[in-house]
Chains A and B, each alone.
Chain A
């Protein structure tokens, strides 16, 4: 029974064997074998739960995990899809209300936010989709000196994975602003953004101001 991992073209990882079989072979206590995960599960059922949650519902661009496919899809459109941004720039109502069944759409992130607070009584501080501003503290492992004392001002937690953050920061510089990314040309029109951005883009541009990171 050979198991091998392969990357499909969007950059996500797939098994060639069903996960429960893999889990079984590892014994009763299961370590999730997905690279970079390392979660420890107490039973096969737990592992299956974990796998179907974590590794089938993550964004293949930035690996962010969402609890519903719908939220994942909205995230991908809003954060990684330049076609989406193009439509926004042309004034289409692209930002969907997050409450399933509501159906309303808005021209901007902010106006959707406003609607959530107004009509759905969300707290004003609320941000589901934090703009992918990279954490000012998080950089590649080898370059980390000491943990930053400053708390993340937007109040949302950064995901643990450092490598993921690099990807995110790379992507964010490319297309996650409210205005049309006029200086950037993608060359092809994606549908639900699966554009995998090569790592090479991330270096050299200079991080956001105030960063505590130094490069070796």
Chain B
């Protein structure tokens, strides 16, 4: 069967109908959406304030409170702590380990209990080199843990401070190994996650040094906090934009199983991190996308979306769903088939998101629907006849611009039949007439008036459908009534060639010299 999804990817969007245009948008959207600045800031680095150990090793009542000192005092305390650590390392006598661990703890507390950790002072005092020494093989677990913790928080600083961790990377990666104690491995993963979250260059270094596989393996076991931290670090590591890491990750033995297992059973926080891994896998790697859609992952994402109320979880789940639906037509044609229970659940879940107060959920749910609407006739009928339609129409008139744009794709898509080639698509007349009667034309003309070229094209495309398809030649009149001619004429001399051509040809064809002469 022809694969409209992939075929349309390469098509020139201007000449094509709404169907094809939606197809081409998906890839760009999938990746751009993953780079949304606000979210990436929050997810990139995480300061470690509380330890990863199962037990509270540090029973320090006084130390549990935040250190509230003046910054300059903190800074000098930090430099002192580093010096202290240096001499503790030099000491080889009795109780040397305790001394070292004590010095490390002191530094760690300064770096984790103060509101603005004195990272700069630590780095200036030469902390990193000392901490690297503390990571050497065979060191006691407590020492490894504290050293990795200090490095974690140094890496959570500004870019220079994160880059200062370069000498420590190979050892941190080594301590991810299967023989490391879990808290140690987890703390090292945390530090590496911070480094990976900084920028692409550091990600490349980590990948070249072989960080991917050991981190991936840490997602396999059942220990909750290990899975959570490892998945988070992994998501930072593979976020690209180079797809190489994502392509490699999906090939690691056991990763797919682990993803399925965690999406099924894990607690919300762990599932959230795993879902972010799926986001990047599905956004960047075609291989991963095709593997994922053929597994149970889609079903699991749908279930999570339907049952969860955690915004933190729903965002990556919805996005993954969107990426998969956009990335591989197998998703709509073989999994989310109309009539199946999974499809019903998916629709319910998407309605829930459309009704949410959170803008991102509304917008991305609409995006998912737009790609489902680009599927088969049955899919279009499903959306048209479902409870989503009134909701969509309401959003189309009242919601913010970006949401309206997504909804426009849905409405446009349900009015056209799937195409096989480059041909002009056939209309689904019943849907078109009904939508126009329900008053969606003004919304499209509004889009034509917007400054956004893509939105303008969408508007023009729908206008074309109306002009061509409304029975009894009513189309032009309707468009005129909504000031459509005037909106199109704005593009008469517009700099964008595509929009200009579209608008002008429509005006010429339907509002030419003969227009209005019959009245």
Which residues in A have some Cβ–Cβ distance to B below 8 Å? 39, 42-43, 45-46, 49-50, 52-54, 56-57, 64-72, 98-102, 116, 119-123, 125-126, 128, 135, 137-138, 144, 146-149, 151, 155-160
Contact = CB atoms under 8 A, between A and B. Distances in A.
A146 B181 contact: no
A43 B141 contact: no
Contact of B92 (A99, A135, A156): A135
A126 B54 contact: no
A102 B97 CA distance: 35
Contact of B178 (A68, A125, A135): A68
Interface in B148-202: 166-167, 170, 174-185
B141 A120 contact: no
Interface in B115-137: 129, 133-134, 136-137
B90 A66 contact: no
B174 A42 contact: no
B58 to A, nearest CB: 11
A68 B177 contact: yes
B173 to A, nearest CB: 9
A56 B180 CA distance: 11
B93 A147 contact: yes
Query: Chain A contact residues: over half helix, strand or loop, or mixed?
Result: loop
Contact of A67 (B89, B137, B213): B137
Contacts of A156: 133, 136
Contact of B177 (A67, A121, A144, A151): A67
B91 A126 contact: no
B4 interface: no
A126 B175 CA distance: 15
Interface string B85-99: 000011111001100
B166 A42 contact: no
B134 A119 contact: no
Contacts of A137: 92
Given A53-B184, A67-B137, A160-B96, 9 more contacts: A39-B141, A42-B55, A46-B53, A46-B54, A49-B183, A67-B177, A67-B180, A121-B205, A121-B209
Given A49-B183, A120-B209, A138-B92, A157 B133 contact: yes
17 contacts: A43-B55, A56-B179, A57-B179, A67-B174, A68-B174, A68-B177, A68-B214, A69-B177, A69-B179, A119-B208, A120-B210, A122-B170, A147-B92, A147-B93, A151-B90, A155-B133, A157-B133
Nearest to B143: A157
A67 B209 contact: no
A155 B132 CA distance: 9
Nearest to A151: B90
Interface in B320-370: none
Contact of B97 (A119, A155, A160): A160
A128 B91 contact: no
Given A42-B57, A45-B54, A160-B96, A68 B179 contact: yes
Contact of B209 (A39, A68, A70, A99): A99
Contacts of B133: 155-157
A155 B210 CA distance: 23
B176 A67 contact: yes
A21 to B, nearest CB: 19
Interface residues of B, number: 42
B179 A66 contact: yes
A30 to B, nearest CB: 10
A128 B174 contact: yes
Contacts of B170: 98, 116, 120, 122-123, 126, 128
Contacts of B175: 67
Given A46-B54, A50-B141, A100-B214, A157 B89 contact: yes
A69 B178 contact: yes
B90 A149 contact: yes
B139 interface: yes
B512 interface: no
A157 B175 CA distance: 16
B140 interface: yes
A147 B94 CA distance: 9
A71 B177 contact: yes
A46 B186 CA distance: 13
B137 A121 contact: no
B188 to A, nearest CB: 9
A157 B136 contact: yes
B516 interface: no
Nearest to B139: A157
B138 interface: yes
Given A68-B174, A120-B210, A157-B136, A46 B179 contact: no
B124 to A, nearest CB: 19
Contacts of B174: 66-68, 71, 128
A151 B129 CA distance: 14
Contacts of B137: 64-67, 71, 128
Given A39-B140, A43-B55, A146 B177 contact: no
A114 to B, nearest CB: 15
A160 B213 CA distance: 31
Contacts of A157: 89, 133-134, 136, 138-139
Contacts of A65: 137-138, 179
B54 A42 contact: yes
Contacts of A72: 179
Contacts of A99: 208-210
- Give the most central of B134, B137, B205: most A CB within 10 Å: B137
A156 B171 CA distance: 12
Nearest to A53: B181
Nearest to A136: B92
B401 to A, nearest CB: 45
Contacts of A116: 170
A92 to B, nearest CB: 24
Contact of A49 (B96, B97, B182, B205): B182
- Give the most central of A67, A99, A102: most B CB within 10 Å: A67
Nearest to A58: B138
Contact of A147 (B53, B91, B140, B166): B91
Given A100-B210, A100-B213, A147-B93, A123 B166 contact: yes
